[in-house]
């Protein structure tokens, strides 16, 4: 099993579920507060790998929902500057296992990478904020 450094927003419902899945699979989870971590471009950028800039963002963040920040039109440098100033913009969770870093919690990818319990339904959405989904259904 692995030690998983897990950058989260404390109190986030999905982050709690994600950590529980990792723990159930036997991994050690080291939670870190995404909002109070001192981010630099050098520390933050590797989590996003080769993903397009728009996939680096938390679309439930107030500044994205209000239209103040539009991830579709940002370059890498501007995106990182915005995220360092307002960590709520960062898609969650950021995960580090050894030297490997990633963003988001795609069940299929996490399972293939470090393993989860076999009975976990891979089509379950553990990334979209439940409050955002509830608001969209009204």
What is the rounded distance in angstroms from the CA atom of residue 57 to the CA atom of residue 89? 6
Entry pTM = 0.87
Rg for the chain (alpha carbons), in Å?
15
> Which residues are identified as catalytic?
12
The DSSP letter of residue 128 is: S
What integer best gives the mean pLDDT of the chain? 91
Q: List the alpha helices (DSSP H) in the chain.
A: 13-24, 41-44, 62-65, 76-85, 107-113, 130-136
Nearest to 103 by CA among 68, 59, 64, 66: 59
Looking up tokens 């709520």 gives 88
**8-state DSSP, 129:** -
| CA atoms of 40 and 46, how far apart (whole Å) | 11
Q: What is the pLDDT of residues 45-101, one digit of tens each?
A: 999 999 999 999 999 999 999 999 999 999 999 999 999 999 999 999 999 999 999
């Amino acid at each position: 099993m692995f030690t998983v450094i897990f950058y989260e927003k404390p109190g986030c419902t999905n982050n709690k579920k994600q950590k529980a899945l990792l723990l159930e699979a036997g991994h050690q989870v080291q939670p870190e507060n995404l909002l109070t971590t001192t981010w630099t471009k050098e520390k933050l950028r590797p989590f996003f790998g080769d993903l397009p800039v728009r996939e680096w963002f938390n679309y439930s963040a107030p500044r994205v929902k209000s239209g103040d920040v539009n991830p579709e039109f940002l370059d890498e440098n501007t995106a990182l500057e915005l995220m360092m100033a307002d960590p709520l913009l960062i898609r969650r969770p950021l995960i580090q296992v050894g030297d490997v870093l990633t963003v988001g919690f795609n069940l299929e990818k996490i399972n293939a990478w470090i393993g989860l319990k076999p009975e976990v339904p891979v089509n379950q959405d553990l990334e979209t904020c439940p409050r955002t989904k509830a608001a969209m259904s009204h």
